[in-house]
Structure 1
Amino acid sequence: MKTKLISIFRPILFLVLGLSLVLACQKINPLDDVDLTVNTDIYQAPILINFLDANVNATILPENISVSISGPGKNLIFDDLGGKNYTVAGNVLSLVLDKDAKPTETNPIKFTVSVTAPGFVSTSQTITISDPTQTLEFTVPLTKVAATPEGTAAKKETLSLTTGQTLTVPATTNKAEVATVTIAPGTQVKDESGNVIPSNTVNTQIVQYGTGSEESLNSFPGSFTPENVTLQSGVSTPGTFVSAGFVAIDMDAGGKKVKSFTKPIDVNVGINSELVNPETDQKVKEGDKIPTWSFESSTGEWKEEGIATVVKGSDGKLTATFKASHLSYWNIDWFYYLPRCRRTFILKVTSNLLTNVVSRNYYAKVYWAPANSNNFRYVYQTYGFNAKNGDLNEYTGLFTPNGSRVQIDVYSRSNNAKIGTTGIFNPCANSQIPITITAPTPPTPILVDVDFTAKCQNKNVNIKPSAWVGLYDPSGSTYYGRYIYGYMRSGKATIVVYEGREYTFGAYYGGKYYSGKVTFNKTGSKIVTSTGTGITGTTSYNASTGRVQVVASYTTNDCK
């Protein structure tokens, strides 16, 4: 399931795009001496993937991120220049859908973005496009091994293959569970091609993710509602996971990455004492059986592997034990898949907020339970929510077994207080769900309407750009709430900002990032680009509508 919130995005920022439009101009070859205005909005379903550190206390964004695209729809996905050079600009990847593709809810286009970054655990995100007219925004948390998020822990050691050895991830103040990996004496390790690596030791890293922390659960690769799951029967299906814990295991030996073993390794994953077995609606107990699943981050595929048995140690704590023949994420999960539905539904907001709001100042949490169960499990957090009275928040790609029970809570990011909740509903049977919001009154925002043009003087061409842009608000209450993204179509954008507040803005185009600063006021807007020159514009304020109008342009003589 892709339980992603598709907000009514208010595209953010625009002005700095003039700097990047030099690249766009190079793609255009108009007739000389003819004054043309060219719209660049020729592709569909613009997609932005925002890579953030899963640790909400992190102050530095992930760097040097590499991605690859796989899956059945990969040939229909391009970078924003229409090529296949999938380059992450800073921490953002911008993609588009082929202009002739025709996805629908019953025949969507699916592809997987695989992610690696130095010092972070590799992961992936499977994306489903069912409506080519929508803009899609995803946030992918990455786990930094040296500073894991709450509810997780990592351990590295060099283990002996000759004598055998155990690596233990100990309990921490926010993760009571323990995980161990044991290598039997005389085990040999193999590379991706199945060749034995001549080595007597193996460098081993385990990252354990507990189930008692939402930060930890947010790091689950893909989501708890995956679309690419292969059962032991060979059937491939989407569905819903209920996790008892998961680990990411990586090894290398002799300078090569380890993929498998001549003898399976023993894996033990501690079970949270409060975890409820969704099949019994009772707490997990000794003797329970839980399916195990491996994850291939290069394809986004989950594969059913076997069964973990819950045992009780001498200390009274529960552990799920199983054998692993190869390396990957290993997930201990109950899985629900048939019968299932794929539905788009909308939350319709009734709110005390009657003026426009900055959606990134609010977020929602999605909880799921099987049919006839009151054991709701956290499965997903959105990174924005439109909380104004009358707003619509659309969820699409929600894969759940028919009859499932879902509840959504909404929070204010300023103090993480709950400000609204839906009733319990079946997403397969409802298309519009009411929610009532009662929120603290935020600062009064202003609406800014932008009309931006890049002027290519040497070719007499005016460019109306389409690209992802973003704002960074350093005064935001939390790490995740400071970043706002949106899409500008053909030079047009409407943004919601707070008056007098300085924003760092950026544009993501052609695998590059361009930035500057801007302050919006009713009487005028101060614009400073990263170079200090190049952008000109006028602003005006309409008191009757409360909107600021900005007409801006950038002139270049470098169009080819």
Structure 2
Amino acid sequence: MKKLFIIPILTVLLTGFFTNCDMPKTDVIVSQDFMTHVAQVSFVNDVSNVAAGKLNTDLDNTTVKITGPDAAKVWNIEGKKVFTIQGGTLQLLLDPSVEFITDSKTYTVNLIVEATGYLKRNVPITFVKDINNAFVEVAMVKKATLPAGIRLATDTSGNVSDLTGLNKVINIVASNTLTNGVTTEITVPLGVKMRDADGNPLSGALNTEVISFSEGNDGTAYFPGGLTPDNVKMLDGTTASGAFVSAGFAAINMTIGGKNVRTFEGGKVAVKMTLSKTNFNPETSQAYKAGDNLDIWSYEDDNGQWKLESTGKVKADTDGSLYVSFETSHLSYFNLDYFGSSSRCDLAKIKLKWNGATTPVNCRLTTRYTYYPYTWYQSIHSSETQIQDGTEEMFLNAPTNMPIEIEIFDIDNNRLLVKKIFAKGDLCKGGTIDITAPVIKKQLVSLTYKGMCSNTIIYPPVGTRVYYREVGGAWKLFHYVYYANRFDNKIVTDKLKVGQTYDFMVFAGNKSQLRTITIAKADNNIEVTLSDALCKALLKG
């Protein structure tokens, strides 16, 4: 009964109006068990704090694929299997019938985004028992406007025959020397033949691109699959979970007649990756040097799996720079990396203390590898979230093999709130972060909403989510109902301004409704009388 009858409540509530009538004497809480695990996915181009809060609306109406072992258990916000980006965001809902048998049980899907002018992204989305609202940021690589430390090189001069192969040697260099970053060079030999993923021979004009990613600073925000992957394939065929510390990675793509080249015959592609000037070896806590070992990994773009190909040797070039070279008979992302098997904990919990912060503040939370006195760091995870005094932030698959820095940036007021470094493994022990930045007080606006059945209040169900935007702006999470009680039907916020008009989108289960409302005063009530039939259905059990 609860799943059948709860879903219409908010749909009806949203057809209500602002009023100031007296509160009734009786209320009731209808318990619920639907759609309590949601991933709030936001898409961005720029991961710097300068661009915090700026979503990539260029991707609006792009349909993404949801794959992986638990894809059947995930729905869009409307309870359908079509996943389309809107307002630079996408919400993924875990089916309410799914049970977390143990605290460590997880459900994972792969979110695959392919859009014209962007690199393909495959991002794992994991649902865990303790995180009802998961915030995930997907950094997209727009080829026309690449961030510092990422470089693209292309070549269109080659032609391939299925009989004689490539008609010339092709050499391409994606250079990051101006930023002291990672440079990737490839050489494609004369006569090599090319095939697609199904093994079919390809012939025609060859388009080749190489994108080289420096590992330092924010470069790893674009790292395929994230730095804390599951299902990593080792040399012996076994799989492992753990944490990467990258020394640089590259995407190598070739197409012929619009079809992707997958494998080569009659020769291999030579790859040379020159390390950045600020490289860091986590095994020695020093920079890499000639003679060090560095593992070479490839990435399966369709299923999101990293595979260990071989172990390379760091060598010194004639100019003193360091590089690793190897050959490949297939195309993918390639990554030079230290991998620590099981170098992470499942879930880390940190309590935030911010005296006087009684209303949620929109913030950007970033976790990084860091190692002082070096200025080197690597971005592990970042997302938009809402914090106030007492907020508990949870970190899935927190690495233990490096010191971790947590940074919180106030999007609403464009300021850095706090940075804190946790020593190796300490983040997984939990703890607190004290924010000493002054609380910026703004005018508070309250919204109290209820559905009425005679003298009985029907409260919004657990899992109800409210989004808002200034008309024409980007959607942002406004409110989430954590508890089914009488105190959770009132929202007090400094996000709204009296006299301003906003769009509100409310999601209850797999139903949604859009309303445009002008905030007329500081205290507002939203009330609607439910139909007799609906009231009887809601209250009969």
TM-score bin (small chain): 0.7 to 0.9
Deviates more, 1:224-233 or 1:356-365: 356-365
CA distance in 2, matches of 1:551, 1:129: 33
1:235 aligned partner, one-letter code = T
Residue 183 of structure 1 is matched in structure 2 by: 188
Q: Indicate if the aligned counterparts of 2:66 and 2:111 stay in contact, CA closer than 8 A.
A: yes
Among residues 93, 96, 100, which one is paired with 1:96 in the alignment? 93
Among residues 351, 357, 362, which one is paired with 1:355 in the alignment? 357
Residue 173 of structure 2 is matched in structure 1 by: 168
CA distance in 1, matches of 2:246, 2:452: 50
1:166 shift after superposition? 0.9
The secondary structure found in structure 2 opposite 1:277 is: coil
Q: Indicate if the aligned counterparts of 1:63 and 1:117 stay in contact, CA closer than 8 A.
A: no
After TM superposition, list the pairs within 5 Å mapping 1:316-465 onto structure 2. 316-338=320-342, 340=343, 342-351=345-354, 353-367=355-369, 377-384=377-384, 388-389=388-389, 391-400=390-399, 405-413=403-411, 414=413, 416-417=415-416, 419-424=418-423, 426-427=425-426, 430=429, 432-444=430-442, 446=444, 448-451=446-449
Among residues 62, 66, 71, which one is paired with 2:68 in the alignment? 71
1:121 shift after superposition? 0.7
After TM superposition, list the pairs within 5 Å mapping 1:94-173 onto structure 2. 94-103=91-100, 104-131=102-129, 134-160=132-158, 161-171=166-176, 173=178
Structure 1 residues 321 and 196: alpha-carbon distance in aligned structure 2, compared to 1, 3 A threshold: same
Q: Is 2:39 aligned against 1:47?
A: yes
Aligned alpha-carbon RMSD (Å):
4.0
Aligned residues: 485
The secondary structure found in structure 2 opposite 1:316 is: coil
1:240 aligned partner, one-letter code = A
Structure 1 residues 341 and 223: alpha-carbon distance in aligned structure 2, compared to 1, 3 A threshold: closer
The secondary structure found in structure 2 opposite 1:139 is: strand
Deviates more, 1:508-517 or 1:219-228: 508-517
Residue 550 of structure 1 is matched in structure 2 by: 525
1:182 aligned partner, one-letter code = T
Structure 1 residues 487 and 52: alpha-carbon distance in aligned structure 2, compared to 1, 3 A threshold: farther
Residue 280 of structure 2 is matched in structure 1 by: 276
Q: Indicate if the aligned counterparts of 2:55 and 2:87 stay in contact, CA closer than 8 A.
A: no
Residue 262 of structure 2 is matched in structure 1 by: 259
List alignment gaps of at least 5 residues for structure 1: 1-16, 23-36, 456-461, 525-539, 541-548
Among residues 463, 467, 471, which one is paired with 1:470 in the alignment? 467
CA distance in 1, matches of 2:421, 2:176: 36
Residue 24 of structure 2 is matched in structure 1 by: none
User: Higher RCO, 1 or 2 (CA under 8 Å, sep at least 6)?
Assistant: 1
CA distance in 2, matches of 1:475, 1:150: 30
Q: Indicate if the aligned counterparts of 2:217 and 2:379 stay in contact, CA closer than 8 A.
A: no
The secondary structure found in structure 2 opposite 1:494 is: strand
CA distance in 1, matches of 2:530, 2:192: 66
Structure 1 residues 495 and 135: alpha-carbon distance in aligned structure 2, compared to 1, 3 A threshold: farther
- Percent identity over paired residues: 23
Structure 1 residues 159 and 319: alpha-carbon distance in aligned structure 2, compared to 1, 3 A threshold: farther
CA distance in 2, matches of 1:174, 1:474: 40
The secondary structure found in structure 2 opposite 1:335 is: strand
CA distance in 2, matches of 1:123, 1:451: 40
Structure 1 residues 67 and 92: alpha-carbon distance in aligned structure 2, compared to 1, 3 A threshold: same
1:321-366 Cα shifts (integer Å, max 9, x gaps): 222222222111100014x553333222233x41324432353434
List alignment gaps of at least 5 residues for structure 2: 1-9, 16-28, 159-165, 535-541
Among residues 80, 85, 91, which one is paired with 2:82 in the alignment? 85
1:18 shift after superposition? 5.8
CA distance in 1, matches of 2:171, 2:528: 63
Q: Indicate if the aligned counterparts of 1:261 and 1:325 stay in contact, CA closer than 8 A.
A: yes
Q: Is 2:203 aligned against 1:198?
A: yes
Structure 1 residues 159 and 333: alpha-carbon distance in aligned structure 2, compared to 1, 3 A threshold: farther
Q: Indicate if the aligned counterparts of 1:55 and 1:147 stay in contact, CA closer than 8 A.
A: no
Q: Indicate if the aligned counterparts of 1:18 and 1:553 stay in contact, CA closer than 8 A.
A: no
Which TM-score applies when normalising by structure 2? Answer: 0.77
